[in-house]
């Protein structure tokens, strides 16, 4: 029981901190650092499928509310991306590549984005890679230090 409570608190803390970091970090050509997407994809490799699905939908819903996107615009992409990252052998690369795909997904869902679609796609590659590496490093160090998943 204690382990489940620690895991829930860790997931909620990660969700809030990733959302705050995404809002506070600068935006380039309308594209920001995908901290919530990276957090959802990182935890999808660590958690079991039901928990990964729940966290991906929660992170996507949080992204929708922060960005004023239509309902389930981000949540549906986060869910599909989390399930696909679970199947790959190189999850960090898949996490970095997911952000340009997310920009294309948003171009389909919304009529006008800040900045051009091609400029956002071009900037999304390095931003996605930087966010993926940072979130992977921070999450795994924090999980090891806090012994979050030691009893599973």
* Residue pair 59/82 in contact by the 8 Å Cβ criterion: no
Question: Looking at residue 49, which CATH number applies to its domain?
Answer: 1.10.1760
Answer yes or no: is 32 within a domain: yes
Which residue ranges of the chain lie beneath pLDDT 70? 1-2, 111-115, 149-152
Answer yes or no: is 152 within a domain: no
Q: How many domains does the chain have?
A: 1
For residue 31, what are the β-bridge partners?
Answer: 28
> Can you give the pLDDT at residue 138?
92
* Residue pair 131/34 in contact by the 8 Å Cβ criterion: yes
Q: Which domain holds residue 102?
A: 2-146
């Amino acid at each position: 029981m204690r382990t489940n409570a620690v895991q829930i608190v860790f997931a909620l803390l990660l969700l809030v901190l990733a959302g705050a970091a995404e809002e506070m970090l600068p935006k380039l050509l309308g594209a920001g650092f995908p901290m919530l997407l990276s957090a959802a994809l990182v935890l999808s490799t660590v958690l079991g499928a039901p928990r990964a699905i729940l966290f991906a939908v929660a992170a996507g819903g949080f992204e929708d509310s922060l960005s004023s996107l239509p309902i389930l615009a981000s949540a549906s992409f986060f869910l599909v991306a989390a399930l696909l990252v679970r199947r790959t052998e190189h999850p960090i690369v898949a996490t970095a590549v997911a952000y340009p795909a997310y920009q294309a997904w948003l171009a389909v869902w919304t009529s006008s984005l800040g900045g051009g679609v091609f400029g956002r796609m071009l900037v999304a590659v390095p931003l996605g890679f930087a966010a993926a590496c940072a979130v992977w490093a921070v999450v795994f160090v924090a999980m090891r230090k806090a012994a979050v998943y030691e009893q599973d």
